[in-house]
Amino acid sequence: MKLTPIAERFILHWGEMGSRWGVNRTVAQIHALLYLLGRPVAADEIADTLGVARSNVSNSLKELQSWRLARVVHVMGDRRDHFETSTDIWELFKLIVEGRRQREIDPTLTMLRDSLMSPEIANESNETANRIRDTLRFLETLTTWSDEMLRMKPETLMKTLGLGARISRTVRGKKGS
């Protein structure tokens, strides 16, 4: 399939942003293609459209599936697996945040808690122990806030974010900064 210039620009940019976020460029480009098309696509069509090796597409689809960002669907009359992603940007955002939390934040919280519970913490300086404690408190606050945001309906979340922005501008205005 031939991509329009806008679709091509979007997919290339999504791939660039993915690599900046630590995601393989091809993985991000495949996700962008599935998102824009909004329909089930066979792996060979993905490979042809993006000009990447079929094996690369296969590995990238497995990674997207592990993040729950792509799923296999079947198309009547076609024995091949097809792949699709959600076209709901809020659902995608939630899946990405939840996935990153599971892979990055949760193990860090465990390590920080274990460090503070370890008898070895007594051998550390007060500064080190306090920094570990402060980091734990910060990440716990951040994850509590994130959990609350992810439970909201999209409309409520948009209103909450708008309210937060207004509060922030008001507070900055009163402090003169």
Location of structure tokens 């031939």: 2
- Examine the pLDDT at 165 and tell me if it is beyond 60: yes
Cα(95)–Cα(97) distance, rounded to whole angstroms?
Answer: 6
Q: Identify the bridge partners of residue 78 per DSSP, sorted by sequence position.
A: 75
Location of structure tokens 């948009």: 158
pLDDT band at 173 (very low <50, low <70, confident <90, very high): confident
Q: Identify the pLDDT of residue 60.
A: 97
pLDDT band at 172 (very low <50, low <70, confident <90, very high): confident
Domains along the chain with CATH numbers:
5-84 (1.10.10.10), 89-175 (no CATH)
| Ramachandran area for residue 71 (φ above 0: left; ψ -120 to 50: alpha; else beta) | beta
Residue-wise pLDDT for 132-159, tens only, equals 999 999 999 999 988 888 888 888 988 9
- Within 10 Å of residue 123's Cβ, how many Cβ atoms? 9
119: phi then psi, degrees, rounded to nearest 5? -60, -25
Residue-wise pLDDT for 59-104, tens only, equals 999 999 999 999 999 999 999 999 999 999 889 988 888 888 999 9
Q: For the packed helices 126-151 and 89-100, what is the interaxial angle rounded to 10 degrees?
A: 150
Location of structure tokens 């306090």: 130
